[in-house]
Amino acid sequence: GVKNGMIGRVVEAAPNRIVAAIGEGDQRRQVTVDQQLYRNLDHGYATTIHKAQGATVDRVKVLASVSLDWHLTYVAMTRHRDDMALYYGSRSFDLNGGLAKILSRRNAKETTLDYERGTLYRQALRFAENRGLHVVRAARTLLRDRVDWTIRQKQKLADLTLRLRGVGVRLGLFDSRQTQNPKEAAAMVAGVTLFANSIKDTVEEKLRADPAVTKQWDEISTRFRYVFADPET
């Protein structure tokens, strides 16, 4: 199929459609683009050096910038079969050491700390600080807010667990007393094994009969809806 970034050559243009040739050698094939599927076609005039890696075309025009290094220069200048032209702004390159120096340098990965002593770096910091944009302080505040929010949610869950336990005790689902020895809690008379109502019906009946439990359950249900609708509430 056709993938994003592929380069094709228009071999036929007819009303409501064009035919493009894609691929090289045995992999070369034609693709028909119908107007019903693509109503508008834009003329692409350039591609990035990274996107051009692995591609080969007849003619290449390279627009150089001061961000180039020896690796990008090699890729850009080896994509052509017949002709290659290099364009650059002499003034900007002269201010940065010249064309040869820039195109032959080895660029390691850089961070903002590499420019800590530079004039532009200090100017940017002053610009931010004069407008109240204290980067480190803002980052610290955001982190502290996130930690505080996590702690609050943990406390809410702990409180919710206690309240659910209280609801279970009031419904008679389990004994609130902590039994130390299971053998001592064994009943002297066998319990009833057949009930007229199911557990679900019994629970619903007790809920409807106890206004306090009903109110707590409504509040818990509301809290769950808030959690799914707005996790930070």
d(CA 23, CA 30): 9
Q: What is the pLDDT of residue 160?
A: 77
pLDDT digits (tens, 9 = 90+) for 14-51: 888 889 898 878 888 998 888 888 777 777 777 888 88
Backbone angles phi, psi at 17, to 5 degrees: -165, 160
Q: Which residues pair with 9 in a beta bridge?
A: 21
CATH 3.40.50.300 assigned to domain 46-110? The reply is yes
Q: Which long-range contacts (CB under 8 A, 24 or more apart) does 66-69 make?
A: 66/92, 66/93, 66/96, 66/102, 68/102, 68/103, 69/102, 69/103, 69/105, 69/106, 69/107
Q: For the chain, which residues make up each domain, given as ranges?
A: 1-45, 46-110, 201-229
Higher pLDDT, 123 or 97: 97
Backbone angles phi, psi at 100, to 5 degrees: -60, -40
Compute the mean pLDDT over every residue in the chain, rounded to the nearest whole number.
Answer: 75
Higher pLDDT, 11 or 160: 11
pLDDT digits (tens, 9 = 90+) for 136-167: 566 666 667 777 777 777 777 777 777 777 77
Q: What is the pLDDT of residue 77?
A: 92
Looking at the predicted structure, is the pLDDT value of residue 224 above 80?
A: no
Please report, rounded to a whole number, the percentage of residues in the chain having pLDDT higher than 70. 61
Pairing, β 57-63 against β 80-87: parallel
d(CA 53, CA 55): 6
Please report, rounded to a whole number, the percentage of residues in the chain having pLDDT higher than 90. 16
Looking at the predicted structure, is the pLDDT value of residue 60 above 90?
A: yes
DSSP state of 230: -
